[in-house]
């Protein structure tokens, strides 16, 4: 039996029968995998390496019975992120990031960029122990990078109608409070002037009666743009928009992921309720891409 060694970050752990646990992790070289850890409940054999958010070194193998689960032979904790567990808000945010990664990370397929993103995001959260709740700009930056990785980030450079650029809007002081309309189906936005001029261009963009749109402040969209080129550990410190603007941006980003990321529209994100966020999720009515 050939052992596979890889670094893993725990995304989910579910009890199985009396003494076992099924653990799902994001690995450095094998993407998202699930493994059966036998006799790990009330045992010191894994030394806390199977706790949520923990980064550890795994030795695992294919099970002899041909099951889809791997068999976890040994796990040694590298970084437990114990500081995240000191505050409820940090735990809620880390749980939400894990939920997002469970939906986006490919199964058994290397995704080093996602592994680095999640590892750095957890490290950033641990550094926020002096805060009651991580800023929404941090969550939005994480989601922006997930959309970027999946190839579904909004077309930020210009308005879908008049081709006016985001930089030109943000560059005018009087325009910084402008409202941009995100057209979810096209992963793009329309400026305030085009929005005021007519709704025809929005309605005509979809064969469906109800086009999904979200309104976002230009300042929050500028933060989104910057988060794509800013390390996740610096996103919160470089954001300028208010928490209210970022709450609107979150709904737009969630709607984009629901519409464009396969499998994301099955159920709402459970951890949102612990962060006081309102979900834009709704049961799918038509075909998704």
Q: Which residues contact 193 (CB under 8 A, 6 or more apart)?
A: 162, 164
Measure the CA–CA gap between 244 and 23, rounded to whole angstroms: 36
pLDDT exceeds cutoff 80 at 116: yes
Report the pLDDT value the prediction gives residue 169, as an integer from 0 to 100: 81
Q: pLDDT tens-digit profile of 152-169?
A: 888 888 898 888 888 888
Instruction: Give domain limits for the chain.
Output: 4-133, 149-275
CATH architecture, domain 4-133 = Beta Barrel (2.40)
Q: By mean pLDDT, which of 2-16, 147-161, 191-205, 226-240 is the weakest?
A: 191-205
118 close to 27: Cβ distance less than 8 angstroms: no
Instruction: Provide the 8-state DSSP code for 184.
Output: G
End-to-end CA distance of the chain: 40
Percent of the chain with pLDDT over 90: 53
Measure the CA–CA gap between 281 and 273, rounded to whole angstroms: 13
Report the pLDDT value the prediction gives residue 45, as an integer from 0 to 100: 73
Phi, psi torsion values for 79, nearest 5 degrees = -145, 115
Q: pLDDT tens-digit profile of 88-106?
A: 999 999 999 999 999 999 9
Q: pLDDT tens-digit profile of 117-141?
A: 999 999 999 999 877 788 999 999 9
Evaluate the CA torsion angle 230, 231, 234, 236 in order and state its sign: positive
């Amino acid at each position: 039996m050939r052992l596979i060694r890889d670094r893993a970050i725990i995304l989910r752990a579910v009890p199985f029968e009396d003494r076992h646990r099924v653990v799902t992790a994001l690995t450095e070289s094998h993407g998202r995998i699930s493994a059966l850890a036998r006799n790990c409940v009330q045992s010191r054999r894994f030394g806390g390496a199977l706790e949520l958010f923990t980064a550890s070194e795994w030795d695992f193998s294919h099970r002899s019975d041909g099951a889809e689960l791997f068999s976890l032979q040994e796990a040694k904790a590298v970084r437990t992120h114990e500081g995240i567990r000191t505050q409820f808000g940090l735990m809620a945010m880390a749980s939400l990031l894990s939920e997002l990664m469970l939906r986006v990370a490919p199964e058994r397929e290397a995704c080093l960029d996602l592994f680095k993103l999640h590892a750095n995001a957890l490290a950033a959260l641990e550094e926020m122990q002096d805060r009651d709740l991580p800023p929404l700009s941090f969550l939005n930056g994480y989601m922006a990078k997930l959309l970027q990785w999946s190839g579904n980030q909004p077309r930020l450079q210009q308005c879908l109608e008049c081709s006016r650029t985001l930089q030109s809007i943000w560059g005018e002081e009087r325009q910084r409070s402008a409202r941009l309309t995100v057209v979810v189906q096209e992963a793009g936005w329309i400026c305030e002037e085009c929005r005021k001029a007519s709704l025809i261009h929005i309605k005509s963009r979809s064969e469906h009666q109800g086009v999904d749109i979200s309104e976002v402040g230009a300042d929050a969209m500028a933060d989104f743009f910057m988060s794509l080129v800013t390390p996740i550990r610096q996103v919160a410190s470089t954001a300028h928009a208010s928490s209210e603007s970022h709450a609107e941006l979150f709904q737009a980003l969630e709607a984009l992921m629901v519409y464009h990321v396969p499998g994301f529209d099955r159920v709402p994100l459970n951890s949102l309720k612990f962060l006081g966020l309102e979900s834009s999720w709704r049961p799918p009515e038509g075909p998704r891409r």
